[in-house]
Structure 1
Amino acid sequence: MTLVRLGYVAMSVELKNSSPSQTMTYTQFENYNNHEAAVRKLERIALSNLDNCLRLLKHSVAHDVTFFRLSSKLVPLATHEELKGWNYLEPLKGKLAEIGEFIHKHDMRVDFHPDHFVLLNSPKKNVLTDSLKTLKLHLQLLRGMSINHTHRCVMHIGGSYKDKESALERFIENWSYVPQMIQQTIMLENDDKTFHLNDTLYLCEKLGIPCVFDYHHHLANHEDENWEKEWERVVQTWAESPLPVKMHISSPKSESSFRSHADHIDTDMFLTFLKEIAGSVPQIDCMIEAKQKDHALFQLMKNLKQREDIEIVNNSSFILKHSKWV
């Protein structure tokens, strides 16, 4: 049997005024007449984001959700070149520690998905340098929460730069410039336009990185439609991880907007995937990437509770009664 645990991404549509991604642009920062006053404003925004992050975690636990993606925008302008002397962690220490204590108390799995501009296969040195700064920020936030940093940042491979094979090899070359502690945080997922599952597995197996299988992305972009043939390879990339296998689940918005995420999860589509992998792993954590965030999770669980082939564990977890992989 396989335990399936559901999570959702960063924000709630049900918990009002709870954004953990409030921000300030550098233009707004420059409009302040006093530099120190502008920095203090940034710190207040960051603390407000962390307050809302803790509210979201409490909201999640109240609904039995123990898998959650943290916002990568908790600290605005933290890596901006013009603020490189700003010790942004100092005023956040207490709140980060409080969040970490809550996460540990409830045995939650949390991770990040750094923004699309974080590119480890870029041919431009400055882009790679900026990407490493952003990944270091994520590592420092995890440390501030006293969370084991291993496999906490899921990323796409990057751009093709009009030569996909060279872009794959450049990822390997640039990997040598990534500090080991940052390397340890990273997971890779297949994307919906360029790097399909086999590309992702090539890098994951070569570099020892866990592969986060995105089922929707695979349907939109694949070399071989039959992902099942590669599932054992996906599982093996997690062999040395302290965490269960992770995947992403979303549904197409429409046939004409197939790559876009729908508001909710198509239950039948999800179960089509799960029935193929049931019994292959003891647990799989499924991150829901739907526009309706937590409501999409709650609706999915409501739908699953109507089925006889599902054993409900709690409001965010269930077991498939039958196993194809036995």
Structure 2
Amino acid sequence: MTASVQPIVWAGDHLRLLDQRVLPHEERWVDCRNAFQVAEAIHGMAVRGAPAIGIAAAYGLVLDALHHRDYDAAELVLAESRPTAVNLRWALARMRGVWRGGADAARLLAEAQLIHAEDLAQNLTMGKLGAALLPRDATVITHCNTGALATGGHGTALGVIRSAYAIGHLAQVYNTETRPWLQGARLTAWELTRENIPAKLIADGAAAHLMATQKIDWVIVGADRIAANGDTANKIGTYSLAVSARRHGVKFMVVAPSGTFDLQIRSGQSIPIEERVPRELTEFRGAPIAPLDMDAWNPVFDVTPADLIDAIVCEKGVIENPTEAKVRALLG
């Protein structure tokens, strides 16, 4: 079961990105013709999700190579678009390796397309591995959007949910709204309803009460960066879900491709956490919802310690109760 939507499309001489800021009520595409426009789309959240950011950035380098623009400048503007998602820097490093080998734009395009295809294949593998961990008729909670919209297709955490539903291992999904950008209410809900997967939207703050009053089998989330010891940075609110899950005996699963691991970082304490502008909290779609002089603190990721994670699923296998030794053993 693969996703019915593919949000990243190479159109021959430009890149088309499904604008996730206006979903679910409008399906609008952003056409990018240079690396700067791709970086704007990434920073502006038109494209989001760690794997999708990496794929889009790879295509952004191709766009500038096609027009013989400065490669280093293109790489720099893309690298600065989002600091937390390790997939971005991983994809840029991989493309630089090809560029250093004397590649032309055609060879860079082939590499970007390979990164795209590999991500989809990894998603399908992770979906199968993660679904196998769920009991029949499982009830799960997921956070943010980790589906086709956030990846090269199918999804990471939502890919597990898709795969579990396809084999009859899923009875119910509860997807959080995911403030302040409402990726769960707008994007995950859109993907789930398109494919008739049984789902209910909940407020972020309702998750602990849900775990306390109903049988929840797993919390399933994605990741933007995973440290060598298994500490995981993901959308703000993930850590709270992990704490609540441990309190209520609910298992906690992180699903991410191997490119999301950053083995140069020993623990989550060293993961840079992006903070965005206060108006994302004090406004909604440009309309003020707080006093005009109200300040705000707006970190968009948090770190879940490895000891709160029951399983990390990547395309290379499953790491149960992750430790640095287990992570390094699997990733080599």
Smaller-chain TM-score range? under 0.3
Q: Which has the higher contact order (CA 8 A, sep 6+)?
A: 1
Normalized against structure 1, the TM-score is what? 0.27
Structure 1 or 2, whichever has the larger Rg, is 1
- Whose strand fraction is larger, Structure 1's or Structure 2's? 2
